[in-house]
């Protein structure tokens, strides 16, 4: 930390389930750098991503005499990173913070780009843009991550390939679809909960480069940062209609990407095989690719219209101009989206029967 010009005092914020494995080496390396360190353990889970928890971080900072030159360190997943970043943005009107992401999602997505915040009456409705001084992802921490969490991170990596980098997408296909089929393995390694070190490195390195470049060009989402929403307008609607427990964010995004590709084909922008390839890749890692049974298409449509980006009854959707190329659209006829949702929900009901 001293190497990046950070202070002499730090508070490391973590969860017991993460700290148990990874806190000791973090403490040791900070101590070796001459940094005085305090620790705050917070309960894990999206429901704790709220202002009351941020107050605990501020209180720990004051109690441990963290001053303007101090640093807050987030050791955990995206929930913790978003909260600690927000706490740092406001503490003494802004102090340094460091992200040590330990979920694949945090490594490939949430730790990059400086969006911080909490849930307040709605998801992520209160927050700040506040860039970390340092992000350090240790791929070895993925060893203890539950398989379902790993898959959710993979959904965002697949998204990065689909919107920005055909080469990444095809390398994922080779590793996760073609190689396992050739070798007769039924499920790709990550569907079973492991990623080979090479694949983990590819996912994290490329995602950070790709998302980092988009954010550097458009931090406040005036333009191309919206590309990162591919699959998310459908996905957020699914999450809210299905309940956040039934469908994790990455799972909803996987279904959302498949639906967005289908819509692209209906609009005439995209070959139908793009949907097939996206669905095959997501399925290979154990992500869902269909709307779950029992979802009401009208409720889904209503949820989509609530999206922050909807204008005059037409959602603003990020779709694909081709595999590896995103585009933002706001001219899809509402009836086309409603028909697609009705079919997708009926398909989900049939598959569940």
What's the N-to-C CA distance of the chain in angstroms?
A: 55
Is 115 annotated as catalytic? yes
Name the minimum Å distance from CB 310 to ligand NAD. 20
Among 53, 96, 99, 102, binds ligand NAD (CB under 6 A): 102
**Is 339 labeled as catalytic in the residue annotation?**
no
In the bound state with ligand NAD, the residue whose beta carbon lies nearer, of 113 and 235, is 113
Closest CA to 133 of 175, 173, 99, 94: 99
Residue count, binding to ligand NAD (CB under 6 A): 26
SS3 state at 291: coil
Instruction: Determine if 105 is a binding residue for ligand NAD (CB under 6 A).
Output: yes
Interface with ligand NAD (CB under 6 A), residue from 61, 70, 77, 264: 77
Q: How far is the CB of 83 from ligand NAD (least distance, A)?
A: 9
What does 73-101 look like in DSSP terms, one character per residue?
A: EEEESHHHHHHHHHHHHHGGG--EEEEEE
Q: b/e per residue, 176-186, with b = 16+ CB within 10 A?
A: bbeebeeeeee
Q: Phi and psi of 327, rounded to 5°?
A: -150, 150
Q: For ligand NAD, which is the closer residue by CB, 109 or 275?
A: 109
**Contact predicate 278/258, CB 8 Å:** yes
Residue number with CB closer to ligand NAD (35 or 137): 137
232 binds ligand NAD (CB under 6 A): no
The pair of three-digit structure tokens given for residue 133, joined into one six-digit string: 């001084």
Interface segment toward ligand NAD; rule CB under 6 A; list 51-59, 78-86, 252-260, 265-273: 78-86
Q: Determine if 10 is a binding residue for ligand NAD (CB under 6 A).
A: no
Judged by CB under 6 A, does residue 226 bind ligand NAD? no
By the rule CB under 6 A, 79 interacts with ligand NAD: yes
> CA–CA separation, 72 vs 70, rounded Å?
7
Identity of the residue, 250 or 264, whose beta carbon is nearer to ligand NAD in the bound complex: 250
The verdict on 76 binding ligand NAD (CB under 6 A) reads yes
Buried b (16+ CB within 10 A) or exposed e, 155-170: bbbbbbbbbbbeebbb
Mark whether 239 is an active-site residue: no
Whole-angstrom distance, CA of residue 297 vs CA of residue 9? 53
Does the footprint of ligand NAD cover residue 53 (CB under 6 A)? Answer: no
CA distance 352 to 73: 44
- 3-class secondary-structure state, position 318: strand
Reply yes or no on whether 21 is catalytic: no
Catalytic residue among 15, 49, 115, 159: 115
Burial call 125-143: b when 16+ CB within 10 Å, e when fewer? eebeebbbebbbbeeebbe
Pick from 106, 188, 214, 283: which binds ligand NAD (CB under 6 A)? 106
**Closest by CA position to 337, among listed 288, 235, 267:** 267
Among 12, 18, 26, 284, binds ligand NAD (CB under 6 A): 18
232 catalytic residue (yes or no): yes
We find the least distance from the C-beta atom of residue 48 to ligand NAD, in angstroms, to be 9
Alpha helices, DSSP H, located in the chain: 16-32, 51-63, 78-90, 104-105, 147-164, 166-173, 179-182, 197-217, 232-242, 249-267, 272-284, 297-305, 334-352
One character per residue 112-151, x = contact with ligand NAD (rule: CB under 6 A): -x-x--------x----------------x--xx---x--
Q: Catalytic residues, which ones?
A: 93, 115, 156, 211, 221, 225, 229, 232, 236, 249
Chain residues binding ligand NAD by CB under 6 A are: 15, 17-18, 44, 46, 49, 76-80, 82, 102-103, 105-106, 109-110, 113, 115, 124, 141, 144-145, 149, 152
């Amino acid at each position: 930390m001293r190497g990046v010009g950070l202070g002499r005092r730090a508070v490391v914020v973590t969860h017991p389930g993460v700290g148990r494995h990874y806190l000791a080496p973090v403490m040791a390396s900070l101590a070796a750098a001459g940094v005085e360190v305090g620790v705050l353990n917070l309960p894990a889970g999206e429901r704790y991503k709220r202002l009351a928890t941020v107050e605990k971080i501020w209180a720990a900072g004051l109690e441990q005499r963290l001053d303007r030159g101090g640093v807050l360190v987030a050791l955990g997943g995206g929930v913790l990173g978003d909260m600690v970043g927000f706490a740092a943005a406001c503490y003494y009107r802004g102090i340094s913070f460091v992200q040590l992401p330990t979920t694949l999602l945090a490594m490939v997505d949430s730790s990059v780009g400086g969006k911080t915040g909490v849930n307040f009456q709605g998801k992520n409705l209160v927050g700040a843009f506040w860039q970390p001084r340092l992000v350090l992802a240790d791929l070895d921490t993925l060893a203890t991550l539950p398989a379902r969490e790993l898959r959710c991170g993979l959904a965002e990596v697949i998204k990065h390939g689909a919107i920005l980098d055909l080469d990444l997408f095809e390398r994922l296909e080779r590793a996760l679809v073609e190689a396992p089929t050739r070798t007769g393995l039924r499920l790709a390694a990550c569907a079973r909960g492991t990623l080979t070190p090479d694949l983990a490195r590819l996912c994290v390195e490329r995602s950070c480069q790709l998302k980092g470049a988009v954010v550097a060009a458009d931090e406040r989402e005036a333009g191309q940062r919206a590309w990162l929403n591919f699959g998310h307008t459908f996905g957020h609607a699914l999450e809210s209609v299905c309940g956040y427990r039934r469908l994790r964010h990455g799972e909803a995004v996987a279904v959302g990407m498949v639906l967005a590709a289908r819509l692209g084909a209906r609009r005439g922008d995209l070959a139908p095989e793009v949907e097939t390839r996206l669905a095959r890749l997501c399925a290979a890692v154990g992500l869902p690719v269909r709307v779950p049974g029992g979802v009401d298409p009208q409720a889904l449509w209503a949820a989509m219209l609530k999206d922050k980006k909807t204008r005059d009854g037409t959602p603003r959707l990020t779709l694909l101009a081709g595999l590896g190329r995103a585009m933002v659209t706001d001219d899809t006829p509402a009836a086309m989206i409603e028909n697609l949702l009705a079919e997708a929900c009926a398909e989900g009901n049939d598959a569940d029967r």
